[in-house]
Structures are given as C-alpha cells and as structure tokens.
Amino acid sequence: MTQRSLFDDELPPRPAPEAPAVPELPAPTDPPLLPEQKAEVLERLREPALSCTRCELSRTRQHVVFGEGNPAAPLVFVGEGPGENEDATGRPFVGRAGKLLDDVLRENGMTREHVYICNILKCRAAFFEEGRARNRPPRPEEVDACRSWLDQQLAIIRPIVIVCLGAPAANVIIHRNFRMTPERGRWFTHSPYAPWVMAAFHPAYILRLHGPGFDEARASLVRDIAAAREKVIEVRRQLREQGPEAGLAGQPGARRSLFD
Ligand code: SF4
C-alpha cells in the first residue's frame, strides 16, 4: 500500500493530473543531434516538464528543477533530487552543496558551462513537520513517474560520461542496490545512458562529515571528477583517431574544447 505523507492531510484534493504534452523528441537510436540542435530540443522538453503533474510532488513543490548547463556537454552530473534551496530557486545544486560542487569543478578547470547538471527527480520530495517542509527520500513510484524526463534529457545530450552524485542516482543510472564504499569511483560501461558511468560522493553528504572524514571525501570527489574529465578526453581522442564517421557529430568534440 502506498504510504501517505503528512502533506496528504494538509492539502485540498486536486483533480486527476493530466500529463503535459511532450514534443516529439529524438529516439536514443537516432543519430546524435548537433550541439545547437541539442539546446533547442532540450528547451522544447523543458517547457512541458515545468508544468508536470505526473506525481504528487507537483502538489508541494515550488519549482520544477529541470537541470542546467551545456546541452552539448560530454560530461553530465546526476543527483537524486532538489532540496530546499533548489526548490526555492528552480536551479540544481545551489546552496552549500552547490558551492562545493562549483569549487570542485573549478579545481578541475571547469565551470557549470562546461557540463550539464540535473537530478533523477525534478521536484523536491518533502514532508511537513511543525509547519516546515523537510526533505524525505523519494518513493519508488515518484522516481518511476519522473524517469522519462531524465531519459529524454540524456537521449538529447548523449554524454560520453555520467557522474552519479550519491547512491540514489547510481541506483537508477548504474544498478540497483549500488554500494558507495566498494563501487564509488569505478567505471561502469553497461548503462543505456552513456558509454562510461561512475558514482562519486554527493556534495551534501561530504558537508555532513567533519575533520579527516570531510577532507578525504572531498579529495575523493576532486579525484573522481578529474577521472571523469580524463575519460572524456581519452574517448574523444580515440573517436578523432577513428575519423569523422566514428560518432563525434553532435558531441562537442566536433570542435576543440576544454575536453580536448
Ligand atoms: S517529480 Fe517529476 S514526475 Fe513528479 S511532478 Fe515533478 S517533474 Fe513530474
């Protein structure tokens, strides 16, 4: 039986949600889009996503947090879902965790404009306690309802590398029951979302640590992101050596970039 949240009793019932119209989008098997096409098609996807009512999180969110960054990025970061700051602003990874992610990107010579950042879930999963919304883990049915937005985002972007930030994202992108301790930082090559996928610590998790634990976890995130950037460079070098037919069209490798 579906567990009801505290919120269910506090909000008036809404009419049955109608799924927003989703534009015709490229199938994962279609040839990759050119970078400028990716921006346009991703924008067409964002519009209906912003009014999505496929699950009950639409009743409690302030903003749908679709994702942001470079639509043609070869490197995509995927977290679990928006928290309080993200819900308030409509942007992924803001607040202290976002600042840590920005810092770690910068230490690897990157900014948000070089990558794309999004979440498995586009709306904040929260319950109310003493009048305050508090984060809660998303329910499986909420993850299932939201998954097609992520599927379509990644089918448009077609990244070379995905870094899952935290185990919940890795559970969806890599495999169920993902275990961070033995599996973090390892490459997985069976994901339908990208040829190379790994998991790294979520910045919010790192911020809950103290002393040497914090330093070690932060250093491991820096290393994992460095490895992700190196993987992009390595794959794109291989593709260039194989010639223009090897699949660089639609990847930012079609012109020189930070990842060359
Ligand atoms: S969490 Fe996803 S499926 Fe649920 S309302 Fe938000 S966008 Fe729609």
Structural domains in the chain, CATH included, are 33-244 (3.40.470.10)
Closest by alpha carbon to 97, among 207, 214, 227, 6? 207
Our answer on whether the CB atom of 120 is closer than 6 Å to any ligand 1 atom is no
Whole-prediction pTM value?
A: 0.86
What gap in Å lies between CA 66 and CA 68, rounded to an integer? Answer: 7
195-207: pLDDT as tens digits = 999 999 999 999 9
Question: Among 16-30, 78-92, 97-111, which stretch is predicted with the lowest mean pLDDT?
Answer: 16-30
Rounded to the nearest integer, the mean pLDDT of the chain is 88
Alpha helices in the chain (DSSP H): 35-49, 84-89, 95-107, 140-157, 167-173, 180-183, 203-207, 211-242
One-letter amino acid at 253 equals G
> Can you say how many angstroms the Cα of residue 84 is from the centroid of all Cα atoms in its chain?
17
What single-letter DSSP state applies at residue 16? P
Our answer on whether the CB atom of 184 is closer than 6 Å to any ligand 1 atom is no
What gap in Å lies between CA 94 and CA 147, rounded to an integer? Answer: 22
Instruction: Give me ligand 1 centre to Cα 246, in Å.
Output: 36
What is the maximum alpha-carbon separation in the chain?
61
Our answer on whether the CB atom of 143 is closer than 6 Å to any ligand 1 atom is no
Instruction: Give me ligand 1 centre to Cα 52, in Å.
Output: 6
